[in-house]
Amino acid sequence: MPKKLLIIIIVAWAIPLAAIAKEKVVKTDSTHTHAHHADSIYQGTNIKLDLGATALTLGTTKAHLQHYEIAVNCRLKNRFYPTLEVGYAGSLPATTNDPTRGTITLGDSIAYRGQGGFFRVGCDLNPLKKHPESPHALLIGLRLGTSIQSVQHTLLNTQYSLLTTTSADCWGEIVAGCQVEVCKGFTMGWMGRFKCLFTRQAEGLPANEYKPIYIPGFGRRDNIAWGLDYYIGVNF
């Protein structure tokens, strides 16, 4: 990954943490930043766009794969954040100048191209108790994710030269991050993800039953994976 891109990502993730650390007193009178009453159950919705995963996917795969994602969460009782995340990921289309763009390989035996959608559902908890009414929040939570994609595998040195299939996968995540209101109505934040794949590939499968190398919303097929997101969003 280019050093400049890495520096930009680190600075972007540091901004929300600095905002939380800087806040010392949160006002709860009529100047409160939330339009919803502090004692109500529902206290607003946040819609956010993930810029971090898009940049990391392009950078770590040398622009062979793409990843786009949006998320929605609701703030309940200043503490709970039910969350839905949806997106699209997979191979970038090949071009005349670069016919191999969007292709990733596993050793010298399998070449992968594929794309599809994914979604995750879950809930985050804000553990901050000193000022729960603050527009800022630390978030710890769980996700259940699933994806479905159209896949083309080129299997070298076997009787199966090209396979086109549809594949579905499922996984779980433990997440931690923050969501900060940088100015009235606008937020930014980051989220780290620890992922565990449930649909693992059995040993000794024939070549025509290989699972995809890459899973939209999860990443490269491993039993365990990680992810980092950086969001910008809007409160309603």
Give the pLDDT confidence score for residue 212 in this predicted structure.
84
Give how far Cα 68 sits from Cα of 25, 81, 114, Å: 36, 22, 15
Query: What residues contact residue 93 under an 8 Å CB cut-off, 6+ apart?
Result: 101, 102
- The predicted model scores a pTM of 0.81
Is 27 contained in some domain? Answer: no
| pLDDT > 80? residue 127 | yes
Domain that holds residue 140: 3-21+40-235
Q: Which of 215, 136, 129, 114 is nearest to 173 (CA)?
A: 215
Q: Is residue 115 part of a domain?
A: yes
- Asked whether residue 28 is assigned to any structural domain, the reply reads no
Residue 35 domain-assigned (yes or no): no
Residue 31 maps to a domain: no
Q: What is the pLDDT of residue 21?
A: 53
Q: Is the pLDDT of residue 170 over 90?
A: yes
Sign of CA dihedral 76, 142, 225, 63: negative
In a domain, 33, yes or no: no
Q: What is the pLDDT of residues 62-84, one digit of tens each?
A: 889 999 999 999 999 889 999 99
Whether the per-residue pLDDT at 2 is higher than 90: the answer is no
Residue 229: pLDDT over 90 = yes
- Chain mean pLDDT for the chain: 82
Q: Which pLDDT value is given to residue 141? A: 97
Contact by Cβ (8 Å): 72, 84: yes
Number of domains, the chain: 1
Q: Indicate whether 30 pLDDT > 60.
A: no
Which pLDDT score is estimated for 158? 62
Which CATH number is 181's domain given?
2.40.160.20
* Residue 204, pLDDT above cutoff 70: no
- Check whether 28 has a pLDDT greater than 60: no
Domain assignment present for 29:
no
Using pLDDT thresholds of 50, 70 and 90, give the confidence band for residue 152: confident
In-domain check, residue 34: no
Bigger pLDDT: 28 or 181? 181
pLDDT above 50: residue 33: no
Closest CA to 77 of 111, 126, 112: 126
Per-residue confidence (pLDDT) for residue 126, from 0 to 100: 93
